Chains A and B, each alone.
Chain A
Amino acid sequence: MPYMILPLGALADRVHSKVLRFVCIAVACLWMLTVQLPGMMLDMRSYMTCGITEEQQLWIPRHSALAFSFPRSVSLIRDWSRQAFYPDSLVESSYDGPPGEPYVKWLLSTPHQVIVPPYPTADRMDITHYAMGWIYDHRSNNLVDAWWWYWLQLGLPPGWTGLAVLMLVLTIISLCQLLRMRDETQVSLKRVSISHSLMWIVLSVWLLSTTWFAFETVANMRAERIELQLGESIILRSYDVDQRAKHPGDALDLILYWQAGGDAPTNAWEPEQVVRDAYYLTIPPDTPPGNYRVLVGMYELESGTRLPITGPDGTAIGDHVELSTVCVKD
């Protein structure tokens, strides 16, 4: 995109007509007010703001360049104004775009129509899993799609709102500074150039840390590809285990990847299919601190005995294998 924008500077040099310049500025302002700003700021997922029902979404024209965005943007602004002044008046949709081709999936893919709902699929409310459902529940009447608006809606903590105000002030100050500067603006020549050195320092630190993470990750994942044979027809291909230290009562994620070989799979397994077998193991609350081994084995249903395990080179390992160690802290 910058490659397509940069040459415009040369065009600006050649356009001397005031009328043409005025037209360009007018078009840009109109586009900004009707397409870009509503798309950026308004929460289009809210029917109250958007004014489009799911039924109407099915009739949004797919291939008409302006038919969709322009009327929708106008209706957004209209709805937005109405909601600001008469919060209870906006009951019915005000979108009146023409019926057209069926709605496919493009509505989800354009950056301006961010109507993909935050999927409320929280498995657990911690850092490792989705916590968007909680936010989703609190934003049914959202008007503005920005982080500080959520904090305002949630009423906490007030410092975040101050940060948004600071951003606004900085925007105004920097704009004033930039508009004040003239083409021949000169600043002190005493300045020491640090940007180049700073870039090298930031890159070096990032590169070293990323390389360290990459090597550790590759080493760990190679260790996790174990290819163990259980009995005659089951292969344990690899595993994923939560490496973090745990506290009593915490959960340990363990995922095993099995593959049935030959033609004697377990009841639901297809031959050669890799089966993802996820466990969510709760560490008992009375577990004393220490290091605990994570072992895995497989029982035969009829006999209740564990299947013998052999390594990739055919050596017998026993009837269970140690995958990892988990550290339980106080």
Chain B
Amino acid sequence: MPHHNPEYVGLEDILYMSDALQRPRLWVLVFFLSIYLLTFGGHFYSPDEDVIFHVTHSVVEHRSFSLLTLAEPRVLQFQMGIDGKRYSRYGWGASAVAIPFYLVGKWSTQFVQLQLQGFVARLVTALVSPIVSAISCVVVYSLAIAFFRKHKQAFLITVLFGLFTLTWPYAKMNFSESLLTMELVLAFYQLFRYTQDGRASQLVLSGFFYGLAVATKMASILFVPLAGLYLLAHLYEQNGRLAGIRKHVKHYISALLCWGIPIALLIVTVLLYNAFRRGSPFESGYGSAAGLMRYPLLEGLYGLLFSSGRSLFLYAVPTALFIPAIMAFTRSGARRPSFSPWSSSLTLSFSPSTSFGMEQAVGDRAF
């Protein structure tokens, strides 16, 4: 149910903007996709990327989650399963999303000579990253338009996000960070759209993308309660105007179910996947949750913010302005969407669990 509040973007605005912004969004997609494809590496840079590829390969070709490669452990990092097989440390999300790309890549290999087939298969499979990164840019543009309503401002923000942060380097590689970024941004975008349009399908989509993010990186589960609070806050504000407790409760339950069921289903698949591989639903490849904070917090925070290898400010220069920006953003009246920067900060504070900050709470590497 749409509502009218001068502080937020209304339904009419959204409809008007979605009409008006169709072409700009298309051009944003073309612009970033072209740049990402031009600078796309086309090969793998680390064994982690190869592991994600190998799981896709095993599922499609052998109907197995285990790594069937004969490569030695020093080359391919893996975790030993309860059955003695070698398994990936990562969630199933990135490998599952890559399945259609893998099938296209496999089909493409017939057009090149034998010794290039492995290269082409990887090149096409790794196209996931540039494509999902470009989609993330479109979503960021749409969010920026919803927040600020000006094309130039929105495009500037999208350029900062797409070219001046780690989004660009990750679009070059086959890590799961690009995919995770798209999932989390799309999930929040759908949730935000729900607060404007009130469509149940938007809630389902939001829940689906949050669940998929958890399936991609388990640490993304940190975002779920924050998004749930955001939804509850919206429902509370909206239902305060509805008459009758019964209607009030029904609306709460239906909205929470629409949003929560896809998340719950996908989290269950993650737990089953863990149990199947490691014997325990809570044993991911990164170790148990208890081990997340075993490294010095301050050292991790330092590594995350200032080290030459991991510094957020060094490799995403615009984030240096985050503190004054969030203050200006909050003062500007867009109160509710500001939950997302705070959730980002919360994840940052959680992540310094290793000396380099982002190794284990990986959800924030993309954010």
Contacts and interface: CB of A to CB of B under 8 A. Distances in A.
Interface in A206-224: 206, 209-210, 213-214, 216-221, 224
Contact of A206 (B69, B100, B163, B169): B100
B238 interface: no
The listed residue with most B CB atoms (<10 A of its CB), out of A134, A146, A206, is A146
Interface residues of B, number: 129
A267 interface: no
Nearest 8 pairs of A and B residues by beta carbon: A131-B118, A147-B42, A274-B84, A106-B309, A111-B169, A7-B329, A174-B31, A257-B84
Interface residues of A, number: 115
A156 B14 CA distance: 48
14 contacts: A6-B144, A12-B156, A69-B314, A109-B310, A134-B119, A147-B40, A203-B208, A206-B100, A209-B100, A237-B83, A243-B63, A253-B70, A276-B84, A280-B70
B252 interface: no
Contacts of B328: 7, 10-11, 13-14
Contact of B329 (A10, A41, A116, A123): A10
Interface in B9-64: 18-24, 27-28, 30-31, 34-35, 37-47, 50, 57, 59-64
B336 interface: no
B261 interface: no
A170 B117 CA distance: 28
A106 B357 CA distance: 12
A177 interface: yes
Given A2-B140, A69-B314, A107-B309, A185 B64 contact: no
Contacts of A216: 63
A216 to B, nearest CB: 5
A111 B315 contact: yes
Contact of A178 (B40, B118, B155, B332): B155
A64 interface: yes
A127 B117 contact: yes
B181 interface: yes
B153 A9 contact: yes
B168 A36 contact: yes
B38 A62 contact: no
A2 B169 contact: no
Interface stretch (A27-35, A83-91, A298-306): A27-35
A181 B28 CA distance: 12
Contacts of A243: 61-63
A168 interface: yes
B310 A110 contact: yes
A65 B314 contact: yes
Contacts of B75: 119, 121
B350 to A, nearest CB: 14
A20 to B, nearest CB: 11
A108 interface: yes
A255 B269 CA distance: 27
Contacts of A240: 62, 64, 66, 68, 85
Interface stretch (B240-248, B284-292, B316-324): B316-324
The listed residue with most A CB atoms (<10 A of its CB), out of B61, B314, B337, is B314
A108 B77 CA distance: 15
Interface string B193-234: 000000001000100100000000000000000000000000
B306 to A, nearest CB: 5
Contacts of A224: 64
Contact of A126 (B92, B114, B309): B114
B79 to A, nearest CB: 13
Nearest to B72: A121
Nearest to B97: A206
Interface string B71-109: 110010000100111100000100011011000001001
Given A1-B166, A6-B143, A39-B169, A123 B70 contact: yes
B150 interface: yes
Contact of B115 (A107, A109, A134, A259): A134
Contacts of B96: 210, 213-214
Contacts of B161: 1-2, 5-6
B164 interface: yes
B325 interface: yes
B208 to A, nearest CB: 7
B276 A218 contact: yes
A62 B309 contact: yes
A175 B31 contact: yes
B342 to A, nearest CB: 9
A68 interface: yes
A186 B20 contact: yes
A209 B311 CA distance: 40
Given A1-B316, A181-B152, 4 more contacts: A65-B307, A127-B109, A128-B61, A213-B59
A276 B70 CA distance: 10
A40 interface: yes
A5 B140 contact: yes
A217 B19 contact: no
B185 to A, nearest CB: 5
B143 to A, nearest CB: 6
Given A168-B38, A183-B151, A11 B44 contact: no
A130 interface: yes
